[in-house]
Amino acid sequence: MKSNIKNIIMILLFFAIGLAGFIYNNASDITSLIIAVVLFALGLVLLIKGGDYFVDGATAVAEKFKVPELLIGATVVSIGTTLPEVMVSAQAAVKGNSGISYGNAIGSIICNVSLIAAITLIAKPAKVKKKPLYFPVVFFFVAAIFYAVNAYVFQNFSLITGIILLCMFVVYMIVNIKQALSPKKDEEPEEAADEEKKKDIPIYLAIIMLVLGAAIIAFGATLLVDNGTIIASKLGVPDSVIALTVVALGTSLPELVTAITSLIKGHGALSLGNIIGANIFNLVLVSGLAITLKPFPLPEGNYIAGINSSLLVDVPLMFIVMMLLTLPPVIKGKLYRWQGITLIVIYVAFCVFQFAVGMS
């Protein structure tokens, strides 16, 4: 308990430093690039720590009320790791930064697959069960096609689009919950050792962690969006480029932590499902909420041969990397190291391309 209280005090100190910097940043018309970068980095730290507290607190509360662990994993934990993207995109949309709202979702998907999944695949490729992958993979591509139609055909994300995406999120969660609650013959009960490792967090501390985590995530997202916009304007880089690369990487850190943890514990294949789920949330929850709060047209961004670079590169690449990740395990039930190497190369090229085009 002392350790938890000490951690809360530490994060409150970070929070206070960030608040002081935030006030200074907004009080002055001429802020240095260094301050913006520091506050941007602090926003990333707050997002990560806030996500930790939110997930840990929510899980502890759910356990106190005897909610099944599978249900917790299918709802609280999955949404918790996507909260940074939700908060960043929602705040950016409300503030009129549609480039960040749009780019963060697509950028996070590309980052989750071609960096985070790639690291896991290179370190430890593994066999996976094909059947559990069918529904989430098909669901992702259905949602992605709907998203792409709005981008290519209508070049606009309307209120109706946002509501439909949120409805898809509800459908996905209902199916997830039903699957989590249904008995599975092939699964073995949890080992007693795992039960002993669970931390017994008092209910009052769990609630504090839950509320504090949500507040820290919200504040961290504000620092990230505001200072990401400042950095972009000072460097002459469009908001969408910052969102597709730096912001997307920052908000994907919870998924990176999950992937590395799974790898360390010898369950590298488990991160595949986590990443596919997070990508679905990025499309239907993150984008759906941002669009519903404030619909926006397709951000202008950069143009290549008269075509919006997002339509020429970003959206197609989202489909390509997801197919590279999901088709081999769906068809052959196995993940390969060559997938990870290919995806890493694609991600490096993507980042170089984004900054090269953005700075030109």
Q: Which of 75-79, 87-91, 223-227, 308-312 has the highest mean pLDDT?
A: 308-312
CA 262 from chain center: how many Å? Answer: 17
Residue-averaged pLDDT of the chain: 77
Report d(CA 237, CA 243) in Å as an integer: 10
Q: Beta partners for 334?
A: 127
What's the DSSP call for residue 298?
P
DSSP assignment of 300-326, as one string? ---EETTEEHIIIIIHHHHHHHHHHHH
Q: For residue range 277-317, what is the model confidence (pLDDT) as tens digits?
A: 888 988 999 899 999 998 988 887 677 777 888 899 999 99
Q: In the CATH hierarchy, which fold is given to the domain comprising 2-359?
A: A middle domain of Talin 1 (1.20.1420)
**Structural domain boundaries in the chain:** 2-359
| Position 2 confidence tier, pLDDT thresholds 50, 70, 90 | low
What is the pTM (predicted TM-score) of this model? Answer: 0.71
Whole-Å CA distances, 259 to 150, 268, 282, 290: 31, 7, 17, 26
The percentage of the chain sitting over the pLDDT mark of 90, rounded to a whole number, equals: 21
Which one, of 89, 327, 339, lies nearest residue 222 by Cα?
89
Whole-Å CA distances, 130 to 118, 292, 326, 333: 19, 35, 10, 5
- pLDDT above 90 (res 51): no
Contact 166, 289 (CB under 8 A): yes
Which one, of 107, 98, 101, 62, lies nearest residue 80 by Cα?
62
Report d(CA 263, CA 269) in Å as an integer: 8
- For residue 169, the model assigns a pLDDT of 94
| Position 336 confidence tier, pLDDT thresholds 50, 70, 90 | very high
Contact 285, 109 (CB under 8 A): no
Q: For residue range 124-136, what is the model confidence (pLDDT) as tens digits?
A: 787 888 888 888 8
Q: For residue range 4-50, what is the model confidence (pLDDT) as tens digits?
A: 555 655 655 666 666 566 555 554 545 567 788 888 888 878 877 77
- pLDDT above 50 (res 193): no
DSSP assignment of 163-212, as one string? HHHHHHHHHHHHHHHHHHHS--TTPPPPPHHHHHHS----HHHHHHHHHH
